[in-house]
């Protein structure tokens, strides 16, 4: 079953204007690879040196994946990933 990936407004221009995508993958990292397979430009926006850039937050069902297993976090079927900028608040 597909995983939903919600994209922030800042990424939508590089994703054909969509606000969310349905992708496949067993982990957060695999799901993001599926996103990059469709919209290659997003890799450079989100990744640096093979990992997430330091100002990118990814949430699985509302929980920051850094409290889980990071990119190795298992994503259940039907799970929802949300990508957001980290520089808000304070």
Partner 1 sequence: MAAKQLKCRECATEYPLEARYVCSRCFGPLEVGYDHERLADVGEVRRRIQGGPQNMWRYHDFLPLEGPQPRTRTGLPAGCTPLIRADRLAERLGLEEVWVKNDAHNPTHSFKDRVVSVAATRARELGFDTLACASTGNLANSVAAHGAALGMASYVFIPADLEEQKVLATGVYGTNLVKVRGNYDDVNRLCTELSGDRENWAFVNINMRPYYAEGSKTVAYEIAEQLGWELPDRCVVPVASGSLYTKIAKGFQEFIDVGLIEGDLPTMNGAQATGCSPVATAFGAGHDFCRPVKPSTIAKSLAIGNPADGPYALDLARATGGSIDAVTDEEIRVGIRLLAETTGVFTETAGGVTTATLAKLAERGDIGADERVVLVITGDGLKTLDAVRDSFRAYEVEPSIESFEAAFAESVPA
- Chain residues in the site for partner 1 (CB under 8 A): 6, 8-11, 13, 45-46, 48, 53-57, 59, 62, 64, 66-67, 82, 84-90
Least CB distance to partner 1 at residue 57 (A):
7
Least CB distance to partner 1 at residue 48 (A):
8
Least CB distance to partner 1 at residue 49 (A):
13
Place of tokens 């982990």: 27
Taking CB atoms within 8 Å and a gap of at least 24, the contacts of 50-55 are 54/86, 55/85, 55/86, 55/87
């Amino acid at each position: 079953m597909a995983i939903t990936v919600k994209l922030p407004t800042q990424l939508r221009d590089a994703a054909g204007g969509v606000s969310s995508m349905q992708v496949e993958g067993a982990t957060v990292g695999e799901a993001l690879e599926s996103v990059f397979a469709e919209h290659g430009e997003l890799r450079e926006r989100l990744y640096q040196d093979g990992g997430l850039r330091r100002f990118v937050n990814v949430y699985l069902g509302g929980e920051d994946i850094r409290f889980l297993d990071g990119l190795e976090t298992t994503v259940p079927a039907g799970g929802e990933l949300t990508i957001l900028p980290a520089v808000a608040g304070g």
